[in-house]
């Protein structure tokens, strides 16, 4: 018999592999990937590469193609995250499938296994799209290869960190309602209403602006204006948000009725 932490890690690994196979080894998953690839092709050709001339003068970003990729990806992936990661546990819970799982894996393994797999799946897409932007840049000018690679690594790291609190928020919301659509609607409602309330109160009490930091993704607008080297200076915001949301999600998962 495996000890409990080892058993937890083993179960998590099995769940992550299973979730990966849902996207990368199933016919439906391939259909999603094909659709995403097609959409990304148009975004890359008609948006990313088209605005390269507009962002070419940006200070601190050596490769224009990756600069424009950064501007687009910074909003595209968080938005995509709302759709992609909404169904972490809600369908399984309403269908009763989680009842089969909790007899074999502890709730932590299921909750964190699903969260990590969603993060990794998004990373595969981020890395793949960043690679296409890098290839486009190198095809245009071969000398930017190493500078572009450095930019791509920083961009991918930033996106990974930026997606943590949003994915964690979806993990938490997925435990509270019964369908993917409800999760997405709830996320948008919470996001919009929290922003509006904080903005409204801050108008009269400026110190209240500090609460802006509790909203996942609030640092994105600031990030887009920073030079490449400074982008990680705001990493503490999403990391702290992600930590708080994951702790809250874990508590809900432990107490939720199945």
Distance CA(41)–CA(49), nearest Å, equals 11
Distance CA(11)–CA(128), nearest Å, equals 28
Q: Which of 46, 104, 189, 199 is close enough to bind other proteins by CB under 8 A?
A: 104
**Residue 258 binds to other proteins (criterion: CB under 8 A):** yes
Restricting to residues 11-30, name those near other proteins by CB under 8 A.
11, 14-15, 18, 22, 26, 28
CB of residue 258 vs other proteins: minimum separation in angstroms?
A: 4
Q: Is the dihedral of CA 25, 29, 34, 39 positive or negative?
A: negative
**Residue 251 binds to other proteins (criterion: CB under 8 A):** no
**Residue 101 binds to other proteins (criterion: CB under 8 A):** yes
Nearer to other proteins by C-beta: 7 or 202? 7
Nearer to other proteins by C-beta: 30 or 146? 30
Nearer to other proteins by C-beta: 91 or 157? 91
The C-alpha angle 76, 224, 149, rounded to 5 degrees, equals: 80
CB of residue 1 vs other proteins: minimum separation in angstroms?
A: 8
The C-alpha angle 78, 81, 85, rounded to 5 degrees, equals: 155
Closest CA to 8 of 112, 103, 90, 89: 112
Q: 161 and 147 in contact (C-beta within 8 Å)?
A: no
**Residue 181 binds to other proteins (criterion: CB under 8 A):** no
CB of residue 106 vs other proteins: minimum separation in angstroms?
A: 5
Q: What are the backbone angles phi and psi of residue 216, rounded to the nearest 5°? A: -60, 135
Residues engaged in binding other proteins (CB under 8 A): 2, 4, 7-8, 11, 14-15, 18, 22, 26, 28, 92, 95-97, 99-107, 255, 257-258
């Amino acid at each position: 018999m495996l000890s409990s932490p080892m058993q937890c890690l083993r179960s998590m690994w099995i769940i992550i592999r299973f979730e990966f196979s849902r996207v990368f080894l199933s016919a439906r998953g391939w259909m999603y990937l094909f659709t995403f690839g097609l959409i990304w092709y148009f975004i890359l050709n008609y948006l990313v590469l088209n605005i390269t001339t507009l962002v070419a003068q940006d200070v601190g970003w050596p490769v224009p193609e990756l600069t424009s990729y950064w501007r687009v990806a910074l909003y595209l992936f968080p938005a995509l995250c709302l759709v992609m990661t909404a169904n972490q546990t809600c369908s399984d819970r309403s269908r009763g499938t989680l009842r089969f799982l909790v007899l074999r894996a502890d709730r932590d393994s299921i909750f964190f296994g699903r969260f990590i797999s969603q993060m990794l799946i998004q990373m595969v897409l981020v890395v793949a799209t960043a690679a296409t932007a890098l290839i486009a840049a190198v095809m245009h000018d071969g000398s930017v290869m190493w500078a572009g690679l450095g930019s791509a690594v920083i961009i991918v790291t930033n996106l990974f960190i930026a997606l943590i609190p949003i994915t964690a928020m979806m993990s938490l919301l997925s435990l509270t309602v019964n369908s993917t659509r409800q999760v997405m609607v709830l996320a948008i409602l919470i996001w919009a209403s929290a922003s509006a309330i904080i903005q409204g109160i801050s108008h009269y009490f400026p110190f209240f602006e500090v609460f802006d930091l509790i909203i996942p993704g609030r640092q994105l607008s600031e990030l887009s204006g920073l030079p490449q080297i400074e982008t990680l200076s705001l990493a503490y915001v999403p990391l702290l948000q992600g930590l708080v949301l994951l702790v809250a999600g874990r508590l809900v998962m432990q107490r939720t009725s199945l």
